[in-house]
Structure 1
Amino acid sequence: MNFTPLVMPVDKILMQIKDEPGLKWPKPLSTSSRKRDPKKYCRFHKDHGHYIDECRDLKKQIEELIQRGKLQKFVKRDHKPQLKIEDKNHDDVKGDRRDHPKQVVGEIRTIAGGPVLGGSYKSLKKTYYRQVNSVHMKHSSQKNRRSYDDDITFSERDVSGIKQPHDDPLVITLEVEEFATRRVLVDNGSSTDIMYMTTYQQLRLDPKRLRSFNSPLVSFSGDKIYLRGIITLSVTARTYLAQVTIQANFLVINCPSSYNVILGRPTLNRLKAVMSTYCLKVKFLTPNGVGQIRGDQLLARECYQAVLASKENHAWVVEEESKESSQELEEVHLVDGEMTKVGTGLSTTLKSKMLEFLKQNLDVSA
C-alpha cells in the first residue's frame, strides 16, 4: 500500500489525533511475546514488538482518514495524489489530478440566533416552465458518458456506526463558499434551498450579492416570512478525490433556527444526489466516482430536540402572487368628471364595449 507523504513522524501525529473520532485503537498483538523484540515499543498498540514508525496499522488508519478528507494539515503541500487510471486515453481523466481538496476558509458550527434566477415568483415560474418543456429534448451523448460504473447503491455496510432503530433526520456538513458548514438539514420534501440570516452573516458575504425576491414564504400554519433576498453560492460535496462543486441558489430568511441551511430538491438534483434516511447518508456522482457524506446522528438529535423545544417551523412554500394584485390598472374618463379604472390587460374591443356600457348606465352604476 502506498502511503501519502506526511509532514511529521507518525508518532507525533498520533499525539495530535488521539481523540479523533475516526481513529480506531487496535487490538492487542496476536503474535507470541517471545517472538517479539522487547526493545521495540509501539504507543499505538501499547505493546512491544516494533517501533511506532514501523506500525503499518497506524499508517493504514492515517491513510484512510486522509482519503476521507481529514488530517489534511499533516499532508505535504507539494504532494499530488496519484489516481488509478485504467484508460490513459480516456477524456474523463484529463483534469483528475487537479481535484485534490482545497483548504477551507473556516467552519460554521453553531447558530447565534425554489428559486432559479431570483426575482419574483412570477419570473421563477416562467423559468421553471421553460425547463419542464425542454426536459425531454436534451440527451447525454455517448461521447460524454462516463466509462466507470456510476451506479449509486446502499448496502448494510453503509449502516455501520448508526444506532438502530432510529427516525433521525439527515443532518450533514457541507462546504458553502469554502466554509465547512455544519447543521445542514437534507430535506427532499423541500422545493427550495434555504439559508438562515445568521449563517449568511457568518459566511462574511458581500451584502451586494443578495438579490431581491418579492414573494414571501408561507408555512402550513399561515405564518408568513418575507425574504431578505436570494443569493447564488458555491456548494462543494466531497470525500477525498470524489468531489463536485455546483452553484446553488439560497433563499435567505431572518428567523431563529437550529439549522444553518436546509438543502432541498434543487441542489440535491443538481448534485445528482441520492439520500438514505436509514443509512443516514447521501451519495452523489463526481468525475472520480461516487462520493458520499455521512450524517451526524448525535448532532441530528440535538437539532431535532431544539426544534421541538422552540416549536420551529421548517415547512415553507413560496406564496404565489394573486392575479388581481399583479394586474395593473389605468384611469379612464367617462362623462362630466366621472372617472373609473380598468385593467390594462383588457383587449381594445372589450375595453371599448365596457366603457360604452358604463356611460349608458351611469345612473345605476356605483
Structure 2
Amino acid sequence: MAPPAIPEFLKGSEVPITFNREDHPPAVYRPGHAALVLDAQIGNYAMTKVFMDGGSGLNIIFTDTLRRMNKAVDNLPESTNTFHGIVPGRAVHPKGTVQLDVTFGTPEHFRTESIEFEVVDWKSQYHAILGRPTFARFMAVPHYAYLKLKMPGPKGVITVNGNFQRSDSCDRDFSKISEMYGIEKTLAELEITNDRTLLPEHKRMASDREFSATDDTRKHQVHPTDPSKTVNVSSSLTVA
C-alpha cells in the first residue's frame, strides 16, 4: 500500500517523550528483571496491579476482576482469539470480550481511552494485563529499568510510576499460583486415571470369589471310634 501524500499523524505524536536522570530511582535492582506493574483506573475502578506487557498483542482482564467490579462475566460478546501463556502448557479460549475505559494519571492531569479486553477465567496475580494495543492507543513509552510509563496528555507528558516492591510481590504471588496450578493439574490427572466407581483389581478378585464347601474344607473325624461323626474344617488350617 502506498503511503498517503500527507502524513496522517496519530494523536499525541506531537509530544516528545524523553527519560533522563531525573527519572532514575535511588537504586535499580537487576535492571529489566522487574515487571512494569502500575496503577490505573479501569471501568471507573482503581486497580493497583495492572501489568504493562509490551510483548503481548492482547489486553486481558480476568473474570475475578470483573466480578469484583460487579460486572457480568456470562453472555459476553464472542472472542475470535485463542492464545497461549496464561495457563501453562495449554491454549486459552477467552470467555468473550469487554470494552472498558482505561485512565492513567491523576485527577489534575489524566488521559482516558476505551480499550477492548479479552476476558479469561484464570487465577492471576494481576487485575489486568495491558498489551501493545493499549501502548499504541495511549502512545505510551515504557522504561523497564526505571519502572515508569510516559504518555502524551492534555497538559503535556503524563508519568506513571511503578515500584520494585510491588513487582516483587506480584512475582511471589505468581509462584504461589503456579504451585497451586501444578497441584490442581496433578489432582485432575488422578481423577481421570482413577475411576472411583470401580473397585481395584485385587478387591474385585477377592469379592467375586465365592466360598465353596467342597473345595475349601476337609472332613475331620471327631469321635475316636465312630468314623461317621465328622465336622468340616477349613483346608487352610494346619494340622496341630
Q: TM-score, normalised by structure 2?
A: 0.65
* Pairing 1:188–2:54 present: yes
The 3 A distance-change label for structure 1 pair 145 and 295 is closer
Residue segments in structure 1 that go unaligned for 5+ positions in a row: 1-132, 313-366
Deviation at 1:257, TM superposition (A): 0.8
Alignment of 1:39-188 (within 5 A): 136-137=3-4, 139-140=7-8, 150-166=15-31, 167-188=33-54
Higher normalized strand content (fraction of residues): 2
Equivalence for 1:279 = 146
Whole-angstrom distance in 2 between the partners of 1:231 and 1:192: 12
Letter of the 1:158 counterpart: D
Distance 1:249 1:158 in 2: 31
Matched with 1:92 is none
**CA, structure 1 residues 187+177, in 2 after alignment: closer, same or farther (shift >3 Å)?**
same
TM-aligned CA distance change 1:202 to 1:162, over 3 Å:
farther
1:145 and 1:211 mapped to 2: Cα distance? 28
Q: Distance in 2 between matches of 1:169 and 1:175?
A: 19
Percent of aligned pairs sharing the same letter: 25
Change (3 A) 1:162 1:179: farther
Structure 2 unaligned spans of 5+: 180-240
Q: What secondary structure does 2:84 align onto?
A: strand
Partner secondary structure for residue 217 of structure 1: coil
Query: Where does residue 201 of structure 1 map in the other structure?
Result: 67
Q: CA RMSD in A?
A: 2.8
Q: State the shift of 1:230 in Å.
A: 0.4
- Partner secondary structure for residue 218 of structure 1: coil
Instruction: Please state whether the residue corresponding to 1:184 is helix, strand or coil.
Output: strand
Q: Which residue of 2 aligns with 1:37?
A: none
With structure 1 as the length reference, what TM-score do the two structures score? 0.44
Residues 282-316 of structure 1 deviation map (CA, whole Å, 9 limit, x = unaligned): 0000121000100132111011122234338xxxx
Note if 1:292 corresponds to 2:159. Answer: yes
Contact 1:239-1:293 within 8 A present in 2 as well: no
Q: Is the 8 A contact 1:177 1:234 kept in 2?
A: yes
What is the CA distance between 1:163 and its match in structure 2? 4.2
Structure-2 separation of matches of 1:186 and 1:162: 21
C-alpha offsets along residues 178-223 of structure 1, whole Å, 9 cap, x if unaligned?
A: 1111111111000000011111111122557831114432349640
Higher-Rg structure is 2
- What SS is found at the alignment partner of 2:19? coil
- Residues 205 and 309 (structure 1 numbering): CA distance in 2 closer, same or farther, change over 3 Å? closer
Inter-partner Cα distance in structure 2 for 1:261 and 1:150: 27
Give the Cα–Cα distance (whole angstroms) in 1 for the partners of residues 20 and 155 of structure 2: 21
Greater relative contact order, per chain length (Cα 8 Å cut-off, separation 6+): 2
Q: Distance in 2 between matches of 1:310 and 1:206?
A: 24
Higher helix proportion (structure 1 or 2): 1
